[in-house]
Structure formats: structure tokens, C-alpha cells
Amino acid sequence: MDDGPSVRSRAISNALRLGVRPFLHYLPGHATSIRTARSTMDAASLLLRHSPHVRVESLNDPAPGDDGGLPVRGEWIVPRDAVAENPPGAVLYLHGGGYVVCSPRTHRPITSRLAVDTGLPILAPRYRLAPEHPFPAPLEDAVAAYRWLLARGVPASGIVLAGDSAGGHLSAALTGELCRQGLPGPAGLMLFSPWVDLTCELSMGAQSRARDPYISASSARRVARLVVGPTGFEDPRLALLTCAWNDMPPVLIQVGGAEVLRTEAEAFADALRRAGAHCDLQIWKGQMHVFQILNRVLPEASAAMRDAAHFVRTVTGGTGKHPRARKRSTAA
């Protein structure tokens, strides 16, 4: 988009910069503050309405089967007019929250919008959170959710992996893990404001230049230490920028132009392209971290979600209904 952020976008960004960012800068740091942050995010989710044109079904499948897999819990979001049985495709959406907060419920504004715009069901697993369950526990849960889709007849060619922030990191890590485990790869990978570098080296370098109204690189680095636990950053599955991204599906990355994680998204896009992957990097001018969650409020977020739905339909061969198909380009 050539124009700057809308008046509504600027007003929300200023409110977050003054009211929310100072709070998040100090949370979480220990068990009490993590509980506070989780309660706050859950309460805030009640203020963000999701689309009324979906059915949100609770998912609790404790039966791992004979392969010794993990249970799958979370939400199954289905367009109201969709056929429930044997869907031709699905989006596996992994929510953000720094691996320590949030849930499928907090991200219903995104998952419900994806369901409506693509006509496909959305699986939003409730993966285990740090520090109680450090990495790779979330990755193990994500693999179990992908296997759950395959076991129910959803073809890999109809599955798109998606996620925001830490969920973006988890979605990318899941793509690599599927290859390592010999599972069929997804049709596409879609990342909103991905937290690519958990060491936060890139974002710390960009912190003085970015005008992120929501998060700081300093708070992200503090959270990262909780995520990795006592083993530290040695697990190679954490290091997205140094992985060998061979045979990758098409990738869409959307990032706000004002956010501190923009540098990480740009570096990841470069790494993917060097490996031969097709990667569309969209930098939305003046937008904050995971602005897509405000798609019922911000025109930029609504436009970004239309682009996301277009990407899903394209890589899955148009397996779902798409009542609002439209492609829009963006500019930094």
C-alpha cells in the first residue's frame, strides 16, 4: 500500500504504545507475572469479536492411537455453510503469544476470518506453553495436530500451515520437522509477523530504529529464555535462519512496517529465496505486530486477510469456497 497507515491504525498504535507496551515490557518474567499475562490476554480476547459466520467446535481427542502419538486439543473452526465431513483441505493455525501466553480462543478473530474467506476448516491446537513445557513440547504438539488432519483424510496437498509471532516460528519449525520425519509436506506456509530469531540478535539491533507500539526486543529476549528452558538455544530446530530449506512449499510472510521483528522477517525471506523457495514478503506500512487480529477494525488488517485467503486458495488449488477473493499488493 502506497499510503500511510489509516487514522484508525495510528490511533490504536498510539494507545498501545502508551498503555500496553509498558506493561508487556516487564511481563512475563516469573510464574506470577506469567499467570497475570495469561489472564490479561484471555480477558482482552473477549473484546475482540470473531466472525459470526463460523461454528467453533471444541476439540479434545485424547486417543493417540497405536503409534503412541500425543492427544490433540484445541478448536475446530468451520464455516457455517461448509460440509463437516471429509474437507478437501484445512488450515493448521498455530497461535502466537511468545510461546508463554494466548490460546486458540484469543486468536479467533484471525482463525474465524480465515475460515470464512477460504471456505476451509481451521484447526487451532492448544499446544503446551512454556515455561511449564519448554521447547520442543510445542513442536511435538504441532506434529500431532498435523498427523490428526492426515488421519482424518485431509490430504497434505490441501493443508496450509499458518501462525503469527511465536506461532509463525512454530509453523516454520513444523515444516522442517515434517520433512525430517518423512511426512508429506503441506501445500503452503503462511506467517504473520513471525518471531524468526529467538536469540533476538536481529531485533535487538533494530530496536533503536523501529517504532513498534506493541513489543520490544528486550522483552522478547527475556521470554525466549523461558521458552528454551535449561537446554538453551542448542536445538537446531530453533534456528530458522540456518536451516536447510530444501523443497519448501510456497511461503507468504506478512509483517508490519513499524514492528521490531520486521528485520527478522526480511532475513527469513532472504534465506528461503536463497534456498530456491518461492516467498512473497509483504511489508505493511506503519502497521504493528500481528495487526491482522484487528481485521474487523482496521482496513489494512482486513485487506491483509484477503491476501492471506487468496494465498491459501492458490496453493491448495481453490479447494474451499471463496466469496471475497481479491488480490492486493503492498509496499514498504
Concerning whether 310 is annotated as a catalytic residue, the answer is no
Strand pairing report for 72-79 and 54-61: antiparallel
Q: Pick the catalytic residue from 50, 169, 289, 310.
A: 289
First-to-last alpha carbon distance for the chain, in angstroms, is 8
Please give the grid coordinates belonging to residue 284: 505493511
Q: Pick the catalytic residue from 193, 216, 219, 259.
A: 259
Concerning whether 177 is annotated as a catalytic residue, the answer is no
In DSSP notation, 85-127 reads: SS-S-EEEEE--STTTS--TGGGHHHHHHHHHHH---EEEE--
DSSP secondary-structure letter at 289?
A: T
List the 251-256 sheet strands across, edge first: 54-61, 72-79, 122-125, 90-94, 159-164, 188-192, 251-256, 279-284
| Secondary structure of residue 251 in the 3-state scheme | strand
Concerning whether 289 is annotated as a catalytic residue, the answer is yes
Q: Pick the catalytic residue from 51, 103, 112, 165.
A: 165
How wide is the angle at C-alpha 261 spanned by C-alphas 259 and 264, nearest 5°? 145
Q: Which residues are catalytic?
A: 165, 259, 289
